[in-house]
């Protein structure tokens, strides 16, 4: 048996009771923090909390699946994952692989930044376009396809959730905004400038979670504290959404008049 | 203090430890099942589980907020909500209202069908367009704007998550598909017919959760069992996604050749 257990957004107590039950019953407990990170708890914290040894797997070990499949064929095996486990494609492949080998699988869902971030800002889920993800630029590789997707969402008046790279370290909101400006410079679609309204969600699910909305030129000067950070570029705002951004995220009041 | 606690997808044990802590510390516990439903547990089950009286609120009582604000100004008050609490706009308004009255608020996130359904089908989150919601048709009102949004997603090759109405009762996948066909008949955009690939997610998060993908003409004849149901119309499939639909949701194998 292989059970994928979502740890949720931040700390040890974000696991569900069902998730905790699965860990308690497990013969082997693994974790991976490559596809998603849990900022409020280390592997040691989790070991202490569950009273069990946890083996941290590398990206390659998760992708190859050998260790997990072998373990799951011997006993109840849990893979701990931050957020909602099946958001990562690699876990979908692993689930398929396990089932092909005759191993039963189970998924214990949990919260994800995908629903938490819009909710924290008071933006309607129905009005989000496709999610984009901002990778760290590489020496010879500066992908700008995410910029085209952002442009597409903006053209349709939809909000965009922009997830920030977490490898080799979590990207800050400020770095994300600077990369967006560089993409604009390169592609010149005229969609991002200093007057673009943008929102930052910092440490979703943490006791010191924070949201802030404002114009890019002002937001670039702010410090949003420790990771994880997520960006949202709002599209056309319903009045209730604009009000929520002002009340919950201290957006400038002039957005209420637009 | 007013704490919004997400109950997650299905039963009593889907609450997080943090959510359970908040209920344990609460002086007053309320629940609402208008914006989202918990199919695996009744209010009585929850009362027994938490060992506390729970007051079920109507839509109007939640929207007016009077009862909750009064309670939260007297003591620790929890509002239990299925799924992730801030997905519903009415809870965002309530949070703003409470904070304007000087009441501290907290949100305890949980899993939502918005991330669970795509994950159960092995479809990539990055490739979903805007979410649409299929309401029950009224005597003189048959809104088809959702059909335009679906058409927009399809044109861009994006997947569409179609949430089904839960009031006055949960809509079945079959009813949802029939409404889609009626919309097609009315708007004639030529986007939906018997050969359209569609996926059904039934009872996400439940022990008997099930997924099934197939062509609309065949899917219409199937019985997906008790609610809740959710539909997904896949856009352009990556090979790994097509494979996941075949392996996890028994989609016809010919989708691998397209």
Query: How confident is the model over B207-219, as pLDDT tens digits?
Result: 999 999 999 999 9
Smallest CA–CA distance, residue A83 to chain B, in Å, is 9
Nearest beta carbon to residue B240 from set A93, A110, A244: A93
- Using an 8 Å Cβ cutoff, are B98 and B85 in contact? no
What's residue A258's pLDDT?
Answer: 65
CB A220 within 8 A of CB A177: yes
For B124, the closest chain A residue by CA position comes to A89
Residue of A nearest to B110 (CA): A111
CB under 8 Å to B239, separation ≥6 — which residues?
A: B256
Can you tell me whether residue B210 is helix, strand or coil? strand
| Strand duo A77-81 + A28-32: pairing | parallel
Closest chain B C-alpha to A233 CA, distance in angstroms = 15
Say if the Cβ atoms of B16 and A205 lie within 8 Å: no
- Write the CA distances from A50 to A2, A39, A47, integer angstroms: 18, 17, 5
Considering only CB atoms, A15 lies closest to which of B9, B17, B119, namely B17
Angle between helix B113-121 and helix A113-121 axes, rounded to 10 deg? 160
User: Which CATH superfamily does the domain covering B2-108 fall into?
Assistant: Tetrapyrrole methylase, N-terminal domain (3.40.1010.10)
Question: Do the two domains B2-108 and B113-256 of this chain adopt the same fold?
Answer: no
Q: Which of A89, A121, A164, A228 to mutate to test the interface with B (most CBs of B within 10 A)?
A: A89
B8 contacts on A by Cβ (under 8 Å): 16, 109-110
How much is the ipTM here?
Answer: 0.96
The candidate with the shortest Cα–Cα distance to A186, out of A178, A198, A195, A174, is A178
Which member of A8, A9, A248 has the closest CB to residue B96? Answer: A248
Whether A109 sits inside 8 A of B111 (CB atoms) is yes
Under DSSP, the state recorded for A206 is S
pLDDT tens series, chain A, 258 aa: 999 999 999 999 999 999 999 999 999 999 999 999 999 999 999 999 999 999 999 999 999 999 999 999 999 999 999 999 999 999 999 999 999 999 999 999 999 999 999 999 999 999 999 999 999 998 877 778 899 999 999 999 999 999 999 999 999 999 999 999 999 999 999 999 999 999 999 999 999 999 999 999 999 999 999 999 999 999 999 999 999 999 999 999 999 986
Across the interface, do B204 and A109 touch by the CB < 8 Å criterion?
yes
Query: Which chain A residue shows the shortest CA-CA distance from B108?
Result: A205
Q: How far apart are CA A16 and CA A6, in angstroms?
A: 8
Chain B residues whose CB is inside 8 A of the A21 CB are 13
Q: Which CATH superfamily is domain B113-256 in?
A: Tetrapyrrole methylase, C-terminal domain (3.30.950.10)
pLDDT tens track for B28-83? 999 999 999 999 999 999 999 999 999 999 999 999 999 999 999 999 999 999 99
CB contact under 8 A, A84 and B111: yes
Contacting residues for A66 by C-beta, under 8 A, at least 6 apart = none
Contact indicator for B232, B128 with CB cutoff of 8 Å = no
Token pair in block for residue B245: 């639909």
pLDDT for B258: 65
B141 has a pLDDT exceeding 90: no
Task: Detail the DSSP E strand segments found in chain B.
Answer: 2-6, 28-32, 54-56, 77-81, 105-108, 132-134, 160-164, 197-202, 210-215, 229-233
Q: How far apart are CA B220 and CA A80, in angstroms?
A: 37
How is chain A split into domains, by residue range?
2-108, 113-256
Q: Tell me whether residues B158 and A126 touch, CB distance under 8 A.
A: no
Best residue in A116, A151, A211, A251 to probe B by mutation, most B CBs within 10 Å?
A116
Measured between beta carbons, which residues in chain B are less than 8 angstroms from residue A87? 115, 118-119, 125
DSSP label of B55: E
Residue A138 has a pLDDT of 86
């Amino acid at each position: 048996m292989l059970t994928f257990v979502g740890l949720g957004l931040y700390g040890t107590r974000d696991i569900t009771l069902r998730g905790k039950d699965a860990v308690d019953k497990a013969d082997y407990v693994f974790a991976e923090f490559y596809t998603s990170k849990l900022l409020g708890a280390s592997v040691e914290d989790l070991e202490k909390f569950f009273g069990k040894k946890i083996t941290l797997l590398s990206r390659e070990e998760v992708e190859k699946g050998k260790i997990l499949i072998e373990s799951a064929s011997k006993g109840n095996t849990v893979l701990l994952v931050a957020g909602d486990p099946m958001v990562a494609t690699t876990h979908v492949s692993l689930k398929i692989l396990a089932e092909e080998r005759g191993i039963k699988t189970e998924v214990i869902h949990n919260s994800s930044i995908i629903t938490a971030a819009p909710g924290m800002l008071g933006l309607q889920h129905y009005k989000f376009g496709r999610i984009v993800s901002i990778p760290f630029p590489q020496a010879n590789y500066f992908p700008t396809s995410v910029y085209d997707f952002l442009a597409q969402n903006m053209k349709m008046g939809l909000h965009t959730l922009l997830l920030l790279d977490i490898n080799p370290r979590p990207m800050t909101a400020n770095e994300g905004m600077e990369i967006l400006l560089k993409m604009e410079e390169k592609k010149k679609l005229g969609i991002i400038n200093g007057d673009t309204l943008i929102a930052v969600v910092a440490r979703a699910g943490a006791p010191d979670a924070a949201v802030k909305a404002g114009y890019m030129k002002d937001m670039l000067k702010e410090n949003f504290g420790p990771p994880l950070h997520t960006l949202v570029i709002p599209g056309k705002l319903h009045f209730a959404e604009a009000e929520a951004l002002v009340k919950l995220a201290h957006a400038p009041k002039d957005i209420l008049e637009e």
